[in-house]
Amino acid sequence: MTIARFDNPTDMEPLVPTEATRDLAPQASSLIKAAAELGGYFAPETRQAVADLVRSMNGYYSNLIEGHRTRPIDIEAALVQNFSSEPKRREMQQLHFAHLETQLHLERRLREEPGLDFLSTEFICWIHEKFYSLLPESLRHITDKDGKTYPVNPGQIRTYNVHVGIHLAPPPVALGKFLTRFRDFYGTYRQDATPQAVIAAMAAHHRLAWIHPFGDGNGRVTRLLTHAWLTQIGLGANGLWTLSRGLARSLDEYKEVLAAADSKRLNDYDGRGYLSERRLAEFCAYMIDRALDQINFMHGLLDLRQLEKRLLSYCAVAEQARELPKRSGVLLRDVMLRGAIPRGEAARILNVSARTAQTVIGDLLSKGLLKSPSPKGRLTIGFPGFICPNLFPDLYPTGSPN
């Protein structure tokens, strides 16, 4: 089989599926509306607690897409950098921690730099540098199909050729031109919350993976960049959903449509670029469908009435088993609904003395069910990993090992 070698940015045209825009627009509009509705859930403090949980979940599913399953118990340890002494488990934890920290820094930059050019080569390399600088040397290399090993330097564009399936990515000498074209074209959409911008973001997901600018880590960087774009145009719903869960749960299809969009033009009716416009449109349709599916999933999962019921049910069982102090559920429900409460109100909510209330607070803080910035600070809700199966069923795959 003859494999095409790409050395000119025109080789990755079309960059958006122009002919299919009208067909894709209604679904993209539904995505925009659903994300806006989801973003209004909860008081700010409770919303942030859920977003922290979803961010960690995003790392889990991003690892899963790359073929790495991190156990929830190891994720909990990784969050406080308590890494296993067993090499393989430690590497999985380090991958999770690196993703989490990179996403945290990315979201901070988006908040603090409103005009950030997140499609620039500099920013794309910054994502890669942030992620790989947190990994040990054992995870900073790649071995090609011939068994030759190359280093993966944080934030550095690759200096060698790579195959992705049957796709031979652009040669190193041409990567600068491809990335400049990527930024110049998609940059015209980067501030808009329109159906066209959603379609462009999904198309860009494929085209960046197609360019394959790094020796390794391209999938992670691409997913984080898509997350940045959707967040920047207001579709992040304050961090309450993640696309990676949808991609991981349909991984075979994701890989199939991603590879299919590498196809060259099918016939005279398949657009005017070198690559297939039809296959790119199918990829965009898949991505928008997965995004909408995940937002709808989180709408159902975060329904306040049902969430409150699950919290009280969990606490009732835990209190009966003496795993939680009596009336913990009443206090936790109040904190979750209000977002934050002064410590002094806990005694009234619990209907106990101030001293007993402090004991209950201390126990719930130690378990991570309550959080506070200081010994006298306000109380906010926490969602530690052990409560997730009860409070947020199906967030992780059924039967995930502890």
| DSSP state letter for 275 | B
Kindly report, residue by residue over 124-153, the tens digit of the pLDDT: 999 999 999 999 998 998 887 778 888 899
Locate tokens 């679904």: which residue? 27
* Pairwise CA distance, residues 296 & 35, whole Å: 9
Strands of 18-85, DSSP E: none
* Pairwise CA distance, residues 262 & 243, whole Å: 21
pTM over 0.85: yes
Kindly report, residue by residue over 351-395, the tens digit of the pLDDT: 999 999 999 999 999 999 999 999 999 999 999 988 999 999 988
Q: Which residues, 6 or more positions from 249, have their beta carbon under 8 angstroms from its beta carbon? A: none
Q: What's residue 3's pLDDT?
A: 53
Options 3.40.50.720, 3.30.460.80, 1.10.599.10, 1.10.10.10; which CATH number does 304-391 get? 1.10.10.10
CA 47: distance to chain centroid? 16
* Pairwise CA distance, residues 156 & 253, whole Å: 30
Q: What are the boundaries of each domain within the chain?
A: 9-301, 304-391
Kindly report, residue by residue over 39-85, the tens digit of the pLDDT: 999 999 999 999 999 998 888 999 899 988 877 677 777 777 888 88
Locate tokens 């488990």: which residue? 89
Instruction: Flag whether pLDDT at 2 surpasses 60.
Output: no
Kindly report, residue by residue over 206-231, the tens digit of the pLDDT: 999 999 999 999 999 999 999 999 99
Q: What mean pLDDT, rounded, does the chain reach?
A: 92
Count CA within 13 A, CB hemisphere, residue 19: 13
Instruction: Flag whether pLDDT at 398 surpasses 60.
Output: no
CATH architecture of 9-301: Orthogonal Bundle (1.10)
H or E element at residue 202:
helix 195-211
Same fold, 9-301 and 304-391: no
